[in-house]
Amino acid sequence: MAPSHSSLLRIYEAALAAASPSETVRRALTEREVTLELGRDRPHWILAVGKAAPAMAQAALEGCQQRGLHVAGGLIVGQTADEGATLEMVAGDHPVPGVRSRHAADRVAAFAERVGRDDVVIACISGGTSSLIGAPIAGIRSEDLATLHALLLGAGVPIGRINAVRKRFSRWGAGRLAAALDCARVIPILLADVPNEDPAMIGSGPLSPDPLEAWQVERILRDAKLAMQVPLSIASTLGAMRAEAVAETPKPGSEVFARVEDPFIVGNNAALEAAAAEATRAGYAPVLLSHTILTGDATAAGRAIAHAVARARAGSCLIWGGETTVHLPDDHGLGGRCQQLALSAAQTLDDLGVAAALLAAGTDGRDGPAPASGALIDGNSWRRSRATGAEPARALARCDAYGALLAADAILPARETGTNVMDIVVAVRER
């Protein structure tokens, strides 16, 4: 393995460590010590939903035990279930909600009913929450909610806009969980998987007010050219909300949020800062950390990043964070947004003849449906792929990056990281 490849992997690991679910919860409980102490004589409850739910719940349980607080019970909703877990644990469906998600949503309702007045709820929310408890509101069929999710994902809609739409039709989205827990003191601890780390978007904002009106959601669907494709129950409910025939989502200033603490949030920024610190320790200079969120088409982003690397001086390291999108053609292959970005960058680096290496990967260890967390390419990856007969240019056009990158030995295998704070892209210009 080339020295630059080893350095990029260490930088990626440093980013993951900074977004550790357990460390996030420990820091949050320390920050919210006053609320915990005020409720010392009341039962404490733990609710954890998302890909990082098991680790966050365990850290919350340990934090309560260390403080001598009584944990009356809890609920963990993740991607798998463990009957031997200390707290009740159920599995939902991801990335599209299904039967298990509806069951998990029912368990959340049962949990909320057990919480008493003035009890303390430690609510841990991480990426995947929208789907894992993705049951619909009244008037929306479950299959229609699943169709909406699939349409939004397939159209390449940015994650922030996806959440702005789907949370409106989700049983626990857009502040509805706060409404169900309005008798309790709630401490939200959030691992952000969306740009700007907006609590109203993380996990569909179950504990946050929804700032958008129905007409704004309709405009998002029109802009994505999905307004005529969404299921009838979605369109009719949205129209009824706009006409005030159906209740709007809880808005800023609503009494349901009066006892919800300000959320403690760790997201992509923390991961990027840790990556930059590790790059500095590795001797790269300058280390250039972009403060512009990486969004938009993955192919275009890969080209732009490769050009930025080409302009950088030897020995420099460039870092971006965010989440791009992939617009799938009718005839598409297997890949993911990070793989698509990396393959596009590999093509441009080859065209420019630049000696560089680049890592693009999801912090959750998953990149699309392919068995990959992302890719690690260099200035020779494109030629290595072509030499095997993989036809990387055709793969790039078909969003079939996985096979082309695998042929170049550039795939980072899928893994369980326990966290999810969007993607990280790190590139180094060879000395």
pTM recorded for the entire structure: 0.83
Pairing of strands 88-91, 264-266: unpaired
DSSP designation for 307? H
Handedness of CA 27, 30, 32, 36 (dihedral sign): positive
* Count of CB atoms situated within 10 Å of the CB of 142: 16
Q: Alpha-carbon distance 358 to 345, whole Å?
A: 8
Structure tokens at 316: 């420099």
DSSP designation for 325? B
314, with CB counted inside 10 A (0-12, 13-18, 19+), is: exposed
More confident residue, 64 or 330: 64
Q: Which CATH superfamily is domain 268-429 in?
A: MOFRL domain (3.40.1480.10)
Under 8 Å between Cβ of 131 and 94: yes
pLDDT at 84 over 70: no
Q: What is the pLDDT of residue 217?
A: 94
Structure tokens at 147: 């169709």
Q: Alpha-carbon distance 142 to 151, whole Å?
A: 14
Q: Alpha-carbon distance 49 to 131, whole Å?
A: 10
Report H helices in 243-327: 268-281, 298-311
Q: Which of 373, 364, 360 is nearest to 424 (CA)?
A: 360
Q: Alpha-carbon distance 134 to 137, whole Å?
A: 10
Pairing of strands 423-429, 356-362: antiparallel
Pairing of strands 317-322, 356-362: unpaired
Q: What is the pLDDT of residue 97?
A: 84
pLDDT grade, residue 163 (50/70/90)? confident
Q: In sequence order, which residues have a C-beta less than 8 Å from that of residue 160 and are 6 or more positions away? A: 194, 195, 196, 198, 201
pLDDT at 85 over 80: no
Sheet holding 71-78, edge to edge: 88-91, 71-78, 44-49, 120-125, 185-191, 264-266
Terminal Cα distance for the chain, rounded: 16
CA max distance for the chain: 69
For 167-198, write each residue's pLDDT tens digit: 999 999 999 999 999 999 999 999 998 878 89
Under 8 Å between Cβ of 256 and 250: yes
pLDDT at 160 over 80: no
What is the secondary structure of 112-172 as a DSSP string? Answer: HHHPPTT-EEEEEE-TTHHHHT-PBPTT--HHHHHHHHHHHHHTT--HHHHHHHHGGGBTT
pLDDT grade, residue 311 (50/70/90)? very high
Q: Which has the minimum average pLDDT: 153-157, 174-178, 290-294, 318-322? A: 153-157
Element (H, E) at 173: none
Preceding peptide of 286 cis, ω within 30°: yes
pLDDT at 354 over 70: yes
Q: Which CATH superfamily is domain 20-266 in?
A: Glycerate kinase, MOFRL-like N-terminal domain (3.40.50.10180)
Element (H, E) at 356: strand 356-362
Q: Alpha-carbon distance 107 to 372, whole Å?
A: 32
pLDDT at 150 over 90: no
pLDDT grade, residue 33 (50/70/90)? very high
Under 8 Å between Cβ of 316 and 352: no
pLDDT grade, residue 357 (50/70/90)? very high
Q: What percent of the chain has pLDDT over 90?
A: 81
Domain boundaries, the chain: 20-266, 268-429
Handedness of CA 200, 422, 428, 344 (dihedral sign): negative
* CA geometry: angle 104, 126, 28, nearest 5 deg: 120
Strand partners for 420 = none
Q: In sequence order, which residues have a C-beta less than 8 Å from that of residue 297 and are 6 or more positions away? A: 156, 324, 325, 326, 327
Average pLDDT in the chain: 93
